[in-house]
Chain A
């Protein structure tokens, strides 16, 4: 990065065949990714999926084992961190405790010998509405204010690419929403390319233009938030991004419009255009809010899939909607979200119910059901604890 000048606009980021191995494990298997200039891109995945490593590779804080990183068409794979036109908002904010807020923000400008760093730092602080605290030390600010300083410190440099490493993780819900909105506004104002790493699916979906769901060192699916939600390609995506009811069975009938799947004796029809696989064993699914609950067997309808009868095993009321867990013999437990149109729940625990959904709302996964376990999400607290313990052990072992 040349000193003395700002990047004029956001730049493309391209990762080509990236692989990263650490002693003992592979963080990233094989990653190809292209993020167009000016977009807000979210990398979403459970902890340990390789998303933070990806970010650190782009920032230059780690070196890839194989592959190339291009920013705006320039190969930066072997450039040092301080030479890259990239800035990061760290998870812990990493504000310099011995400097004032203003000095923190002006740090990058001074290193690059940009004219009038103080005025530009004030301007950036005004953007995050913290200019009145410019002479404070970081530890005198609240968490939300520190976060905004960290953001100002990064965007003041007008990097071609801004990296956000779960920067909202430490904030409470209200502040989080406020910051999400602020980030979005700033991105629209300054037109940078944002790469946002998070494990919060809601955050990713509300903020990003494009979301890439990452699992175990590779990207499972990439696309607009609605697309990922409506048409998940793998079981991991279907369950990590919201909840899904998934059924596995052989395809018993197929036309150019739809396929029908035999699931434990019940027939489920999915539009061919919304199914990735059209023959053999397949997994199909439907989102819980698309299901309707019936207390008596509904009449057959060519446009609807009907499953049941099943037994309600749990009802939880959450104001706007009620969540029912329904045990259907052969299908397992289904989740149903029902809007509270009537007063209180429609069905009680132990009731016999049927469920139906519009055929158009189903989707078919691309996974081969036989190797299903690969897509099991590692989001349980136990697996996170195990990962933490393993990493501590390996660190102690290395000591």
Chain B
């Protein structure tokens, strides 16, 4: 009997790769139901306790860190998305001095190691005497999020036919009306994608945050610090909840998009 290498090698590789990716997620999810004491390493029995009283442990330290991360993520995302969108439109649509240099400059934060970026920023805050707190974290996050927003939105602006905006002006739309009714709705998918990316990056960031946070604790920082003496199961609860939340969003968008495509195809 001839055994075909290609027939089983690819499925095997796929299964192994997916398992490798899924194990930590499954572990985190399962151990969020562990009836743990101080550390959450050995299985001690099933409980819903941690999900129901997620803020009870360590005087709510987990929840506080989570709340901080959300606030920082939301503020940084809003500011970075607004600024980044404006920059992207300017870079694509207008010819100005130092335009290509601006593009390059915006690319730098993505190419620079985070440690360097975080340490550099911390040094600057120190030298101008700004105390490290939520504000410095937010500023730091805005800084690196802008680059990703610009890159994402720029692609969308480039694919937008300038004739559409000209048609808007031609049809008696003032500059504000043209932006609100034509440019913005057409860029919206790109802007939303950029905002989601920013939030994910901000929520997730540890290195830059650690340099610029002072006494403030964010969720990644909390996990890092508590990893040394055992992460409480409440952290697993929050991590699982975030994961499920993201999963729900992705599935909903996919389903609604498929339904819309079907509807459009039916009409045509």
Are A90 and B163 interface neighbours, CB within 8 A? Answer: yes
Q: Nearest residue in B to A91 (C-beta to C-beta)?
A: B163
Are B173 and A111 interface neighbours, CB within 8 A? Answer: yes
A153, B163: Cα distance in complex, Å? 14
Query: Which of A81-89, A328-336, A350-358 faces chain B?
Result: A81-89
Checking A60, A61, A87, A140 against B171 with a beta-carbon cut-off of 8 angstroms, the contacting residue is: A87
B residues in contact with A153, CB < 8 Å:
171
Interface string of B234-268 (1 = CB under 8 A from A): 00000000000000000000000000000010011
Q: Nearest residue in B to A112 (C-beta to C-beta)?
A: B172
Q: Nearest residue in B to A92 (C-beta to C-beta)?
A: B163
A20, B268: Cα distance in complex, Å? 44
Interface string of A217-257 (1 = CB under 8 A from B): 00000000000000000000000000000000000000000
Interface string of B96-133 (1 = CB under 8 A from A): 00011000000000000000000000000000000000
A91, B182: Cα distance in complex, Å? 19
Q: Nearest residue in A to B268 (C-beta to C-beta)?
A: A140
Known: A3-B172, A82-B171. 9 other contacts (CB 8 A): A61-B166, A80-B169, A82-B172, A86-B170, A87-B170, A88-B166, A136-B268, A153-B171, A399-B99
Binding site for B on A (CB under 8 A): 1, 3, 59-61, 80-82, 86-88, 90-92, 94-98, 107-108, 111-112, 136-137, 140, 153, 157, 398-399
Are A90 and B172 interface neighbours, CB within 8 A? Answer: no
Checking A91, A92, A111 against B172 with a beta-carbon cut-off of 8 angstroms, the contacting residue is: A111
Given contact pairs A90-B163, A98-B186, A1 touches B264 in the complex (Cβ within 8 A): no
Given contact pairs A108-B172, A111-B177, A88 touches B167 in the complex (Cβ within 8 A): yes
Are B264 and A92 interface neighbours, CB within 8 A? Answer: no
A91, B167: Cα distance in complex, Å? 11
Checking A81, A112, A398, A399 against B169 with a beta-carbon cut-off of 8 angstroms, the contacting residue is: A81
Residue from A61, A80, A398 having most chain B Cβ neighbours under 10 A? A61
Checking B166, B181, B185, B268 against A94 with a beta-carbon cut-off of 8 angstroms, the contacting residue is: B166
A residues in contact with B186, CB < 8 Å:
96-98
Are A61 and B182 interface neighbours, CB within 8 A? Answer: no
For residue B192, give the distance in angstroms from its CB to the closest CB of chain A: 14
Are A96 and B170 interface neighbours, CB within 8 A? Answer: no
Are B100 and A96 interface neighbours, CB within 8 A? Answer: no
Is residue B12 contacting chain A, with contact meaning CB distance below 8 A?
Answer: no
What are 25 inter-chain pairs, A to B, with CB distance below 8 A? A1-B172, A61-B166, A81-B166, A81-B169, A81-B170, A82-B169, A82-B172, A82-B173, A82-B178, A88-B166, A90-B163, A92-B163, A94-B166, A96-B186, A98-B185, A108-B171, A111-B174, A111-B177, A136-B267, A140-B264, A140-B268, A153-B171, A157-B172, A399-B95, A399-B100
